[in-house]
Structure 1
Amino acid sequence: MHSTMTLWIVFAVAGLTGLNGVSGTPAETVTLDDVNTSAHPNSALETLEGEENFWKPTVVVVVVEAEEEVMETGELNPSHYPAQRAAKVVQHYINTQHGSPYKVFGLQRVFRANAEDVSDSGRKYHLELSVQEMVHNTTLACTAEVLFPGGEKTEHWPQVQVSSCDELLKIDTSAQEEALYQKYNMNHSLSTQNLPDSNGHIEPDHEPFWHLGTVASSFVMFRESTQNTLYNMAQVDNATQLATEKDQLKFDYHVLLHDLVSQEIIPWKLLVTWSPLEGVKVQKMEKSSNCRHCNKSQP
């Protein structure tokens, strides 16, 4: 068993369910006027995984002191990081399979978790958790298994199986999606940046593209996730619509991802396509040095 003691300073929007139940002590509540968001971009931007009012620009400064039993097997504390990391992978997986500009999934709570070593295959987590569809504020309890591959595997990203979430995945957004598709298929007019801005605000017309960027970012976070990472979406740095190809709307996204373990803000460049029929696809993804915030030192 390998035990490590870490002390993290985490800035999170009040009501952030991605950290719901994680060991920590709320030290102070501040408004965005008190925070230097250029120095701490994550402090004002992790707004996705909140409850129904997750746009509110109130920031809770949380000091997290967690002792991690990284290789612990059997029943896990659902509020500790090994269980939370595995559960976040479930969130990202569901977004890659079912997310859209009008359907975005977030982790709400982990009820039970256990882990086991599976011979040479890796390490498997069994989870009981609740998942929230953020746009419609609908929550459902699910069960899931997450396998982090071990050994010399060709594919190193996790393997996920989810059950009991069928009703959550059936939310009908077809009319909204068709209207959005027809509007932007005709004029190719999207060009935006800073979603959300330093005040936590997003123009209503751009909210679907914040959702789309969040879903597309889940493709990256899912593939990059390990037992030693905990990723959140921070911000759409900028997004530009490209010419439509094969009936797919096409976008160039620059997004900022926050790894709570390293406290890094990591920029990625994504080539994203979407249509109501084909869903969200990420054609290319690469780490980028083109980030207006990421050269700022972190606390």
Structure 2
Amino acid sequence: MQPRRQPSPAPPPPPPPPALRPGAPLLALLLLLSLRGAAAVPEEPGQSQDAGPSRGLLQQAARAALHFFNFRAGSPSALRVLAAVQEGRAWVNPKEGCKVDLVFSTERYKAEEGEEGLGKCSARVFFKNQKPRPAINVTCTRLFEKKKQQQEDYLLYKQMKRLKAPLDGVSIPDSHGHIDPSLRPVWDLAFLGSSYVMWEKTTQSLHYYLAQLTGVKQWKTDDDEIDFDYTVLLHEFSTQEIIPCRIHLVWYPGKQLKVKYHCQELQTPEASGTEEGSAVAPTKLSNF
């Protein structure tokens, strides 16, 4: 009879892992965060990125940027309107407001038939918690040659200089939405000056459109500038209010536009402002 075999001894347990050095868990965490990329971190403390900003917010930012661009360009021939928003993102700071970066396409405001005038703009717009006058930085590609733009501006300038009698009592456009060709220069210049007013009054939820020009009076001056007063009706889309504004405008082709205005608010206190030369901050007026 063979002797009984003894079972083999169990293998020794694996050695314990080496102890982590002090601070190793923190280093590992920092490495993981760095691999995720800087885009996951808000640009500034207190801001959170909106994963999907609404179409309405992007369009609001684009409209505000165009009001500002039109005013700063100071050229009735360079006026633009929004075509479409291509892309955008937003950051929200509950204490400060909403910052929007976006890219959008534009078209010429008075595009001629058959003209291909689609341009592209990029902008950063900062809405300050429902306060008016958003801060804007906008850059746009040129729609047509600068020389052509200067020629069109000078042609409009000569047409305005020939304007003699005040146009009080007229409505541009008329009740059928038609603008007489002879009055088109007046409307374009009024639209240019109104761009400043609409930018100043825009908030994150309120936007404006020039509905009608109801009166114009041009002043004789000792220099070559166009100097005239006009009254417009601004349509505020969120409240559907029609707001009358008196605007004083001084313009000469190639020079910075000068604007003063006074609006009669229907539900809020009256507002007024001014913009001259390269100044940025408006100065409140006690009267017009």
Tell me whether the two structures share a fold, i.e. TM-score over 0.5.
Answer: yes
1:91-240 equivalences in 2 (<5 Å): 91-118=66-93, 121-136=96-111, 138-150=117-129, 156-163=132-139, 165-168=140-143, 170-171=145-146, 172-185=148-161, 188-189=164-165, 191=167, 193-240=170-217
In 1, Cα distance between equivalents of 2:204 and 2:234: 17
In 1, Cα distance between equivalents of 2:49 and 2:240: 24
In 2, Cα distance between equivalents of 1:245 and 1:90: 35
Indicate the residue corresponding to 2:244 in structure 1. Answer: 267
DSSP-derived class of the 2:246 partner: strand
User: Which letter does structure 1 place at the counterpart of 2:136?
Assistant: V
Please, which moves more after superposition, 180-189 or 251-260? 180-189
Root-mean-square deviation (CA, aligned residues, Å) is: 2.6
In 1, Cα distance between equivalents of 2:166 and 2:145: 28
**Which of 230, 241, 247 is the equivalent residue of 2:224?**
247
Q: Which has the higher contact order (CA 8 A, sep 6+)?
A: 1
Indicate the residue corresponding to 2:64 in structure 1. Answer: 89
Q: Give the superposition deviation at 1:179.
A: 3.2
Flag the 1:205–1:187 CA change in 2: closer, same or farther, 3 A: closer
Matched, 1:276 2:253: yes
Length, aligned pairs only: 212
User: Which letter does structure 1 place at the counterpart of 2:121?
Assistant: C
Return 5+ residue gaps in structure 2 as ranges: 1-47, 266-288
Q: Is the 8 A contact 1:195 1:201 kept in 2?
A: yes
Question: Greater strand share, 1 or 2?
Answer: 1
Q: Is the 8 A contact 1:100 1:279 kept in 2?
A: no
1:8-27 equivalences in 2 (<5 Å): none
1:53-64 equivalences in 2 (<5 Å): none
Q: Is the 8 A contact 2:159 2:185 kept in 1?
A: no
In 1, Cα distance between equivalents of 2:201 and 2:239: 14
Q: Give the superposition deviation at 1:288.
A: 3.8
In 1, Cα distance between equivalents of 2:137 and 2:241: 29
DSSP-derived class of the 2:175 partner: coil
Q: Is the 8 A contact 1:98 1:169 kept in 2?
A: no
In 2, Cα distance between equivalents of 1:93 and 1:225: 10
Flag the 1:160–1:104 CA change in 2: closer, same or farther, 3 A: same
Q: Is the 8 A contact 1:77 1:112 kept in 2?
A: no
In 1, Cα distance between equivalents of 2:242 and 2:65: 22
Q: Is the 8 A contact 1:239 1:254 kept in 2?
A: yes
DSSP-derived class of the 2:61 partner: helix
User: Which letter does structure 1 place at the counterpart of 2:234?
Assistant: L
**Structure number with larger C-alpha Rg:** 2
DSSP-derived class of the 1:247 partner: coil
In 2, Cα distance between equivalents of 1:161 and 1:90: 8
Q: Is the 8 A contact 1:139 1:168 kept in 2?
A: yes
In 2, Cα distance between equivalents of 1:252 and 1:173: 25
Q: Give the superposition deviation at 1:221.
A: 0.7
Q: Give the superposition deviation at 1:166.
A: 2.8
* Deviations, residues 101-144 of structure 1 (Å, cap 9, x unaligned): 33321111112222102585532011111111222351112211
Q: Give the superposition deviation at 1:279.
A: 4.4
1:40-79 equivalences in 2 (<5 Å): 73-78=50-55
Q: Percent identity?
A: 30
In 1, Cα distance between equivalents of 2:253 and 2:82: 24
Q: Give the superposition deviation at 1:184.
A: 3.8
Return 5+ residue gaps in structure 1 as ranges: 1-70, 290-299
Q: Is the 8 A contact 1:234 1:256 kept in 2?
A: yes
Q: Give the superposition deviation at 1:149.
A: 2.6
